[in-house]
Amino acid sequence: MRELDTAKISEAVASLCIEANHRLEESTKECISRRACQEDWAPAKAVLDIIEENIAIAEEGEFPLCQDTGMACVFIDLGQEVHLTGGLLEDAVNEGVRRGYTEGYLRKSIVADPLRRTNTGDNTPADLVVRMVAGDRVKITVAPKGFGSENMSQIRMLPPSAGQKGVEDFVVSVCEKAGANPCPPIVVGVGIGGNFNKSALLAKRALLTPLDQANPDSYYADMEERLLERINGLGIGPQGFGGRTTALKVSILCAPTHIAGLPVAVNINCHVSRHAEAVL
């Protein structure tokens, strides 16, 4: 059994919070650059150029990519052969978020109660999802999630008879209704199957997929392509000013479901599609 002090997890989470808020993953940057080159509608091109300028400024480390530095969504793949010492995992993750958001001058956007709305002051608690996996490593992914796009997300419990077309129509309708609100160009995470909660989690996890990576199942890879084409055919464009580039990517994850159900969740992310990972 490998021992790992949870203080190491706090340290890693703190630095990942800061990194994710200043630097986009390579595949995301490449995708935005490529779309900027392909965009021939002038207002759309102008927006994408400013987005690229913003990415370059944020990488200098002085200003985060977006003022909404998000709710800290933390995904941990915990190897079964790791024995954590030094305190609770959840406490360690929250300590990391507290330190990252304070020392990194990131915005504290979490309120302690959804209706009474007092800010917790340190961006905790994190949204922590732990998955037990084989091995003796701990993989930590921090994905700060802004709420301009989160608020445009939807879930629908479709009847199985809705089938593939019903799923695709729903995904496109969510993106059309979102319009300019979620800061397009967007990244679309789709969770199909499972149950009510599982589909939502799949949709969120789908947003971690690198933008140059298709679903390994060609049936779903084709669906991702088809959906991207339909969404970009809406003409909403960057920031909703019109244009070809409404979405950068559609990523689908699915899971077994019940004979009576076809849950579909659509989690929208903005072009500042942030995630950073470390393996301990």
Query: What is the contact surface with another protein in residues (CB under 8 A)?
Result: 41, 43-44, 46-47, 50-51, 53-54, 57-58, 62-69, 105-109, 117, 119, 121, 148, 151, 179-183, 234-237, 239-244, 270-272
> Edge-to-edge, what's the strand order for the sheet holding 71-79?
127-133, 71-79, 138-145, 276-279
Q: Which residues contact 173 (CB under 8 A, 6 or more apart)?
A: none
Between 46 and 228, CB nearer to another protein: 46
**Please, are residues 87 and 5 in contact by the beta-carbon 8 Å criterion?**
no
Burial of residue 26, with CB atoms counted within 10 A of its CB: 0-12 exposed, 13-18 middle, 19 or more buried: exposed
In the complex, the smallest distance separating the C-beta of residue 187 from another protein, rounded to whole angstroms, is 12
Between 128 and 234, CB nearer to another protein: 234
Nearest to 130 by CA among 73, 83, 171: 73
Between 24 and 202, CB nearer to another protein: 24
State which amino acid sits at residue 166.
G
In the complex, the smallest distance separating the C-beta of residue 112 from another protein, rounded to whole angstroms, is 13
In the complex, the smallest distance separating the C-beta of residue 241 from another protein, rounded to whole angstroms, is 4
**Please, are residues 94 and 67 in contact by the beta-carbon 8 Å criterion?**
no
Between 106 and 227, CB nearer to another protein: 106
SS3 of the chain: helix, strand, coil, percent, to 5:
40, 25, 35
Q: How many CA atoms lie within 13 A of 13 on its CB side?
A: 31
Between 5 and 176, CB nearer to another protein: 176
List strand residue ranges (DSSP E) for the chain, in order.
Answer: 2-5, 71-79, 82-85, 127-133, 138-145, 154-158, 186-194, 247-257, 262-269, 276-279
In the complex, the smallest distance separating the C-beta of residue 11 from another protein, rounded to whole angstroms, is 21
In the complex, the smallest distance separating the C-beta of residue 250 from another protein, rounded to whole angstroms, is 19
Between 24 and 78, CB nearer to another protein: 24
In the complex, the smallest distance separating the C-beta of residue 87 from another protein, rounded to whole angstroms, is 28
In the complex, the smallest distance separating the C-beta of residue 95 from another protein, rounded to whole angstroms, is 19
Between 109 and 153, CB nearer to another protein: 109
